[in-house]
Amino acid sequence: MCKTTHFSLVLFLSLFLVFPSTSFCKEKLAVMDLREKHGVVKSLAEAISVEIRDALHRMGHYEVLSRDDIETLVERTAIRQQVGDDETKQLIHFGQLLGTKYLVAGSISKLGSTYSINLRLIDTEGKDAGVKNRVSEKCRCSEDTLFEAAQVVATKLMGVVGVAAAKPLTPASPPKPAPGQIWTEPKTGMELVWVNKGCYKMGDAAKQGNPDELPVHTVCLNGFWLGKYEITQKQWQKVMGKNPSLNKKGDNHPVEQVSWTDVQEFTRVLVNDTGIKFRLPTEAEWEYAARSGGKDELCSGGMKIENVAWYQKNSKGSTHPVGTRSPNGLGIYDMSGNVWEWCSDWYGADYYKKSPEKSPKGPRTGSDRVNRGGSWVSYPKYCRTTVRGKSAPTDRSGALGVRLAVSP
């Protein structure tokens, strides 16, 4: 029987609500954020939890509420309870308060280079209440490959309730790259510029900046596609169904007020919809592109900030439509100023001292993620191409946005 009364609960672990379809009503399933254990940081556990939630959605039987919707529900109902360990009895009780038929909980741990994802599927109703399935997946892999393991374990878990997994989406591919080529992704209209492979001296050769911009070191990169512009509010709205920005002054203004974790969800929805493997650029890729292919440029596009950037002096207290300053040598806009841009890397103050030469991806762990480029509120020194910003993965700001990359 379908329950129509809704209850909510503030948990130290976030909850996502999922509604599987039936012919008469929608049974609910709640997915709790994974507990991080044994060397796994909380932000990674949160990102993998989002991937599991998205994997359930991609099965085609579920309507998924966003984080914002959950927060609104919690505020409206104002039911609060502190939660300790997610023991089965507690989880059954949580599920009953939430009005869910099933609840998913688990953990992620790491031993050496091997990750383990463990999930439980719990029936919360009647005399059958209890654990219905336990699955685990081990992955000796990078963080990027770990997201694929999360999809696998989610599919294995849900087989017990007769939910068929969706057929995997055949990955689409951008066109064969050529120097200076621009490719337009059809769903969002996002334009991407091909950045040729090459080597350059990464860091502050002019020694005008901060200690974390040194030492200058050689980096060699494969070619990649990079957004010609920052992601706009219109593009974010089209993919996510809402616009989180503070500066709502036009569709072509850059989206902001998005966390690194929000961006992971955005890219995964976009990948699911298009089959194209969108991602954040690495910090090394970002700087290489900002410097027009590794040239000695103080700002992205030249030495005169007024020509290429919206910053503290000329912004008049707001973001501006993307592409309204001069581009850099690759035809890419706003890599200095307008909004800071998230990169995929964890931040490490001394990472340049030990960075590999070939395609560096940042430290293996950390507490902050890198952002680059400065913004509409930044002074000129923070809009330099070598400046390294950092923020917690869950931080949001009206000066912090995103630009995406695609590997060939």
Mean pLDDT of 210-228: 97
CATH no., domain 182-406: 3.90.1580.10
Q: Distance between CA atoms of 193 and 209, rounded to whole angstroms?
A: 29
Q: Is the pLDDT of residue 308 over 50?
A: yes
- Residue 80: pLDDT band (50, 70, 90) is very low
Q: Is 96 exposed, middle or buried (0-12, 13-18, 19+ CB in 10 A)?
A: middle
The least confident of 37-46, 68-77, 395-404 is 68-77
Q: Which residue has the higher pLDDT, 148 or 79?
A: 148
pLDDT at 49: 84
pLDDT at 153: 86
What six digits make up the tokens of 246?
Answer: 């503070």
The most confident of the ranges 17-21, 46-50, 81-85, 112-116 is 112-116
Q: Which residue has the higher pLDDT, 44 or 163?
A: 44
Q: Which residue has the higher pLDDT, 49 or 168?
A: 49
User: Which residues, including other chains, have CB under 8 Å from residue 171's CB and lie 6 or more apart?
Assistant: 275, 276, 277
**Segments in 208-363 forming alpha helices (H):** 233-240, 260-274, 283-290, 305-308
Dihedral angle, C-alpha 206, 207, 209, 212, nearest 10 °: 120
Q: Distance between CA atoms of 156 and 335, rounded to whole angstroms?
A: 42
Phi then psi for residue 353, to 5 deg, are -70, -20
- Residue 180: pLDDT band (50, 70, 90) is confident
Residues 15-161, CATH architecture: 3-Layer(aba) Sandwich (3.40)
Q: Is the pLDDT of residue 16 over 60?
A: no
pLDDT at 90: 81
Q: For the chain, where do the domains classified as CATH 3.90.1580.10 start and end?
A: 182-406
The least confident of 51-60, 75-84, 185-194, 305-314 is 75-84
pLDDT at 370: 98
**For 327-337, what is each residue's pLDDT tens digit?**
999 999 999 99
Q: Is the pLDDT of residue 210 over 90?
A: yes
pLDDT at 5: 36
Q: Which residue has the higher pLDDT, 77 or 151?
A: 151
Q: For the chain, where do the domains classified as CATH 3.40.50.10070 start and end?
A: 15-161
CB 329 within 8 A of CB 292: yes
CB count, 10 Å around CB of 24? 7
Q: Which residue has the higher pLDDT, 364 or 243?
A: 243
pLDDT at 196: 96
CA distances to 123, 143, 344, 345, 368 from 364, in Å: 37, 9, 11, 9, 12
**Mean of per-residue pLDDT scores for the chain:** 84
Mean pLDDT of 51-55: 79
**For 343-394, what is each residue's pLDDT tens digit?**
999 999 999 999 999 999 999 889 999 999 999 999 999 999 999 999 999 9
